[in-house]
Chains A and B, each alone.
Chain A
Amino acid sequence: MVVVLLLPKDNKDGIRWTAALFTWLQIILAVIIYMKFDRSMAGVNTESGFQFMEKATWIDIKSVAWFGRIHIDYFMGIDGLSVLMVILTALISFVAVFASWGIQKSLKGYFALLLLLDTGMMGVFTSLDFFLFYIFWEIMLLPMYFLIGIWGGPRREYAAIKFFLYTLFGSVLILLALLALYFSVSVADPTTGEKVHTFNMLAMMNPANYDAGSILDGVGTYWRYIAFVGLFIGFAIKVPIFPFHTWLPDAHVEAPTAISVILAGVLLKMGAYGLMRISFPMFPDAAVYFQIPMAILGLINIVYGALVAMAQEDFKKLIAYSSISHMGIVVLGMAALNTQGMTGAIMQMFNHGTITAMLFLIVGVIYDRAHTRGLNDFGGLMNQMPKYSGVMTIAFFAAIGLPGLSGFISEAFAFLGGFQSEKIRTITIIATVGIVLTAAYMLWTLQRVFLGTIPEKWKTLPDINARELFTLVPLAIIVIFLGIYPAPMINLMTSAVNALVNVLNNGGGTTMLGH
């Protein structure tokens, strides 16, 4: 398992290279995981279905007469839902290290925080103990606060505190749901046979483990819906789903490039991942119950995000809102609650991670040179920076969802899923309007920046350099490759997605019978 915890002490170049080395090791590990990953194993709610598992007792407090034993495991593993996210995290972290090469201010602190953030992200995607998950989830808040707050743009203080408060608000709701689940679920200790409450996520997914009469016992009860909504809000803030999205544009605009990349590339995925890993399998009844509201929120995200993006003058803000729009597709795909939708959602998470990372890097490149992000300040860069324009065109077309690039496949799957689900078919049809809007603002942006005549002051802008290309090209290759041949990615998750959909169908099915 990839847990990078190191605090570099040497100086400047040493620090940079150490960070690069460790993220590189992480990539190698991710590749090994990819190679060895058994595509037939499902995971989701069966312990045997997980791979690369690590399990060790962390906290074990013996019981007293009036309070049961507390048992918390250091329990990690990967299945089809998380493997792509692990690979994505490794990739984006590596790219982010190189994108931060230009940072001058307190380098040591910067990379230490970056690696701590990396640890948190990996931890979230791999932990299978809810308590551990929560710890990792929270560990990321502080580094992010400082990374935005110290190294960010002019309004960084505001953006950083807004991010911190919003996400903490979400987290405490998750905490309450976590505690409610804890007191509702208990499993028998294999050696002594005593019933022990557990934080084990897999145990929480099994309806048989819920204690009779506990808060979250039963199917489709009032409390289960409330807990689901609590978790949903907690995760929705991270995604971010409308109306909890307002921290995102601020954070993105103020954050330094590398942090924007991580934020869009990985952090947003954690919310969606949380829904898939925790909310859906633990509350399948509630997921079915709230299918339509979730789809509507996805729709709002797609259309609203795209419309607001269209109105932006600031390059980074535009991409921030386009992120909101694209994450809406993830939500819509998940709300379909069927194999196609889920597959589309996970693929979209990965693809959006790579594409948006590219977009933010691209903005970073131009900002480093021109020190402005105003879209209307530019024009005619096509001739001035040809290589740059080439990469950017790939990224933009991928974001639009042009066939042949990865964005198309995932969007197609997500919409297909939505279309197949009878309940949300109409919503899906309306949502496709979002695609047209996306094309509109993306092309318009392209036109404003690259076409036309170049203003006098930008005549001297140098083209993209080798380091920047080094960060962008691998992402571009992935985007093109997966656009043409998505099978490797789909194979990774098919069995897990099927298992998850099964859980939903069974859990949701009983709800319908119950009513």
Chain B
Amino acid sequence: MENSVPQYILDSLKAFQPETALTITFCVALVVDLLIRRNRTITAWVVLIGLMISMALVSRQSQGEASSIFSGMYAVDGFSIFFKYIILATSALIVIFSLHSNELNDNKRKMGEYYSLLVALTLGMVLMTGASNLLMMYLALELTSISSYILAGYTKEAEDSSEASLKYVIYGALASGIMLYGISILYGLTGYVDIYGINQALSTGNVNSIALIIAGILIIVGFGYKISAVPFHFWTPDVYEGAPITITAFLSVASKAAGFAMMIRFFKVTFLDPSVGTLALGSWASFPGFEWNQILAIISVLTMTLGNLAAIWQNNLKRLLAYSSIAHAGYMLLGVVVLSNEGVAAVLIYFVIYLFMNLGAFYIVMIVANKTGSEDIDSYKGLGYRSPLIGIALTIFLLSLTGIPPTAGFVGKLYLFAALINAKWFWLAIVGVLNSVVSLYYYVRILRNMFLRQPERSQGQLKFSSYQIALVLFLLIPTILLGLYFTPLVEFAQASVGMFGTR
């Protein structure tokens, strides 16, 4: 069949519209920033519109069939679409957050670059969700990383921000170097960089298993760094604490989502053993010889436990939430360990819920820091009396992070643990639930300061603008609603686990 190359690329471009829209937004934002100097927020609005357009394009794709474009470089399927929604929604919310962050807008800093970089970061993450070729994966990862290095250090007058950025660069460079090494070994073993090709090569069985294990572990390092899993998490607390809070929130949700998307796709596609056919529908087997899910199980236990235990000792709320987000990455890894669609669906469900509750918590920390100038846990003393609405909202977000019904966080955990129990990973389920008991302790410390302690001196009421309250409610309502009625979310997630080229 005569298939001219340009035609093929044109066809691919049709399925690449959301990403193209993001690229155009990036360019337009840069130009607008150069041309219109007076209005400092115009770039933000341009970016917001671009994100909306991109999201609309994604929703148009969701009707279509799963496909692979650019000669197997990039997959467009329910799985990546789901993550694109999460990333784009987070990105849009972060732009809105950034509009009134004192930290960012204090001095006459140029904000145009900030918003354009945010788009570049978003683009990188969106590409990560669909990348089905090791090179593409690596490039997307680097695009994400480089944008986030700059953004983490964006408030460059602040010493800790620069420190955070530098640490981030060093860790990131090391991790991606190691990952690249793993990729090259894998390429050397199989002769493919395309993950479907690698899968085929592996299924012939002529692969040195020790080399394969080494390559796999090296690649896990790269993923582990991105999702900040223990023991590759050392950058996380410093970066999260030093970076502007909007970026911290963004990294803790979207960057993790992208990392998970890429990791799940990589493991599922690459190590899927198509010859095992006797399993229950929806589970899959990986090739014998490399038990990557056992490694992930251990990493997950370490991540949860360390994240939670370290969070107990934190007094800076940003740092506390950083450790808590490490712990949450640990919970989500549980869903990957079980090797079933059910587990993947649980991860998807968890991410949507995590988006609302974690961004909600970060947003409140931000607006409180705007007022009080402090992220210290002591500055929350009596917050529940100084501003009851915000106090109650933060309470609900934190309870949701703990996983106490009837909040959405419970539903997220329920699905993860259900997947574990169904797959008979009992010890892991027990470790998981015990960890959520531990996490209660540090979340409750904040509640205690808010409600059980009186404000120091005679601090007055804290007033927040109706715009801020509306945004809090926008995040709060789903956090409660999804806890009481989760049918639509679960159905959507279960419909989205399908990946191109897998059953």
Contact = CB atoms under 8 A, between A and B. Distances in A.
Interface of A: 58-62, 64-67, 70, 106, 134-135, 138-139, 141-142, 145-146, 149-150, 156-157, 160-161, 164-165, 168-169, 172-173, 175-176, 179-180, 182-183, 215
A265 to B, nearest CB: 24
Contacts of A172: 433-434, 436-437
Given A164-B444, A176-B417, A67 B494 contact: yes
A264 B282 CA distance: 48
Top 4 nearest A-B pairs (CB, nearest first) are: A66-B282, A172-B433, A179-B421, A66-B281
Contacts of B490: 61, 70
Nearest to B430: A176
Of residues A64, A65, A165, which shows the largest number of chain B Cβ atoms within 10 Å of its Cβ? A64
Given A150-B452, A179-B422, 16 more contacts: A59-B485, A61-B491, A65-B281, A65-B282, A135-B405, A139-B406, A145-B444, A149-B448, A156-B452, A161-B444, A165-B437, A168-B404, A169-B437, A172-B436, A176-B429, A183-B422
B376 to A, nearest CB: 19
A183 B448 contact: no
B280 interface: yes
A142 B447 CA distance: 11
Contacts of A169: 434, 437
A176 B341 contact: no
Interface of B: 280-283, 340-342, 345, 385, 399, 404-406, 410, 414, 417-418, 421-422, 424, 426, 429-430, 433-434, 436-437, 440-441, 444, 447-448, 451-452, 485-487, 490-491, 494-495
Contacts of A156: 452
A141 B447 CA distance: 14
Contact of B405 (A62, A139, A173, A183): A139
B297 to A, nearest CB: 17
B405 A138 contact: yes
Contact of B421 (A64, A168, A183): A183
B114 to A, nearest CB: 39
Contacts of B436: 168, 172
A215 B417 contact: no
Contacts of A64: 494-495
A128 B441 CA distance: 31
A372 B494 CA distance: 60
7 contacts: A58-B485, A65-B282, A138-B405, A146-B451, A156-B452, A165-B440, A179-B418
B421 A141 contact: no
A159 to B, nearest CB: 11
Contacts of B341: 66-67
Of residues B340, B399, B487, which shows the largest number of chain A Cβ atoms within 10 Å of its Cβ? B487
Contacts of B495: 64
Contact of B452 (A139, A149, A215): A149
Contact of A175 (B283, B433, B486): B433
Given A60-B487, A182-B418, A142 B404 contact: yes
A141 B440 CA distance: 12
Nearest to A60: B487
Contacts of B452: 149-150, 156-157, 160
A145 B447 CA distance: 10
A440 B120 CA distance: 78
A80 B436 CA distance: 36
A157 B399 contact: no
Contacts of A182: 418
A66 B343 CA distance: 11
A183 B418 CA distance: 8
Interface of B is mostly: helix
Contact of B342 (A67, A149, A168): A67
A175 B415 CA distance: 12
B119 to A, nearest CB: 35
Of residues A60, A134, A156, A161, which shows the largest number of chain B Cβ atoms within 10 Å of its Cβ? A161
A352 to B, nearest CB: 28
A61 B385 CA distance: 41
A141 B404 contact: yes
A168 B282 contact: no
A485 B417 CA distance: 50
Contact of A176 (B421, B447, B491): B421
B257 to A, nearest CB: 22
B448 A176 contact: no
A106 B486 CA distance: 34
Contacts of B429: 176, 179
Contacts of A70: 490
Nearest to A161: B444
A183 B419 CA distance: 10
A67 B440 contact: no
A173 B486 CA distance: 23
Contacts of A138: 404-406, 410
Contacts of B385: 106
Contact of B282 (A67, A135, A142, A145): A67
Contacts of A146: 451
Contacts of A215: 421, 424
A67 B345 contact: yes
A182 B420 CA distance: 13
A173 B418 contact: no
Nearest to A152: B452
A228 B255 CA distance: 42
Contact of B487 (A61, A134, A173): A61
Contact of A66 (B340, B404, B417, B491): B340
Contacts of A142: 399, 404
A176 B433 contact: yes
A150 B440 contact: no
Nearest to A169: B437
B282 A149 contact: no
Contacts of B404: 138, 141-142, 168
A157 B381 CA distance: 14
A182 B342 CA distance: 15
A82 B486 CA distance: 30
A343 B64 CA distance: 63
B487 A161 contact: no
Contact of A173 (B433, B441, B444, B494): B433
B491 to A, nearest CB: 6
Nearest to B342: A67
Contact of B440 (A62, A164, A173): A164
B279 to A, nearest CB: 10
B405 A161 contact: no
Contacts of B451: 146, 149-150
B430 to A, nearest CB: 7
Nearest to A135: B405
B406 A135 contact: yes
B485 to A, nearest CB: 7
A139 B407 CA distance: 10
A106 B421 CA distance: 43
A349 to B, nearest CB: 25
A59 to B, nearest CB: 6
Nearest to A148: B452
Contacts of A180: 421
Nearest to B411: A59
A180 B341 CA distance: 19
B85 to A, nearest CB: 19
Contacts of A139: 405-406
Nearest to B485: A59
A88 B441 CA distance: 33
A168 B440 contact: yes
Of residues B282, B433, B485, which shows the largest number of chain A Cβ atoms within 10 Å of its Cβ? B433
Nearest to A223: B426
Contacts of A61: 487, 490-491, 494
A142 B399 CA distance: 9
Contacts of B422: 179, 183
A61 B280 CA distance: 20
A315 to B, nearest CB: 25
Contacts of A66: 280-283, 340-342
Nearest to B413: A175
